[in-house]
Amino acid sequence: MLELRLHGRGGQGAVTSAELLALAAIAEGKYALAFPTFGPERRGAPVQAFVRTDNKPIRIRAEVRQPDAVVVLDPGLLNIVDVSSGLKEKGIVIVNTKKTPEQIKSLFGNRWSVATVDASTIALKTLGVPIVNTTMLGAIIKATSVVEISSLEEPLKHRFGERAGRNLEACKKAFEMTVMA
């Protein structure tokens, strides 16, 4: 089973990203669950979303406490949330940032693998807005191989309609530009 925890802020689309990943996994014949955890937070408050995928039915319905990967949509969260909490020994941290993987890795004592991508710039140029949820899907796929990018096409069309093409383009650009260390 592959377990992911996404860290974002209310309104950034972390929940949407989790749902889209789960739908892509299901399209590939896998089992998947996606769900958020948040209270009455306002827009901009830290939120988490979780994804589990497996080749067999998933019976666990609790939040992901020991993820294989953590995804950080807003690099500002690195200073206020312990995003690495419970991350497995061979886990990976995937961050939307202009910094290099080595710079981010040093924040965690070089303990885990790190993947970085400047998803904010990609989203702004491709989508016209700095909302990075679908852009970060490319980085997640590059770092974890959780699904194929092509498996996102239908879920994106269903969610975004005519804007799906630009979202897929942003995802593909992020896939190409993600750097890992």
pLDDT, residue 39, reads 62
> Rounded CA gap, 11 and 2, in Å?
25
pLDDT, residue 41, reads 59
Nearest to 144 by CA among 25, 15, 36: 25
pLDDT, residue 146, reads 97
Domain 2-180 has CATH 3.30.920.30: no
pLDDT, residue 145, reads 97
pLDDT, residue 44, reads 79
pLDDT, residue 11, reads 84
pLDDT, residue 45, reads 84
149: three-class secondary structure by DSSP: helix
Strand 31-37, strand 2-9: pairing: unpaired
Domain segments of the chain as ranges: 2-180
Is the CA virtual torsion 98, 85, 90, 65 positive or negative?
negative
> Each residue's pLDDT tens digit in the chain (181 positions)?
999 999 999 888 899 999 999 999 999 999 999 998 866 657 778 899 999 999 999 999 899 999 999 999 999 999 999 999 999 999 999 999 999 999 999 999 999 999 999 999 999 999 999 899 999 999 999 999 999 999 999 999 999 999 999 999 999 999 999 999 9
Owner of token pair 């096409």: 153
> Rounded CA gap, 181 and 173, in Å?
19
Tokens of 28: 């590939």
**Does residue 29 contact residue 5 with C-beta atoms inside 8 Å?**
no
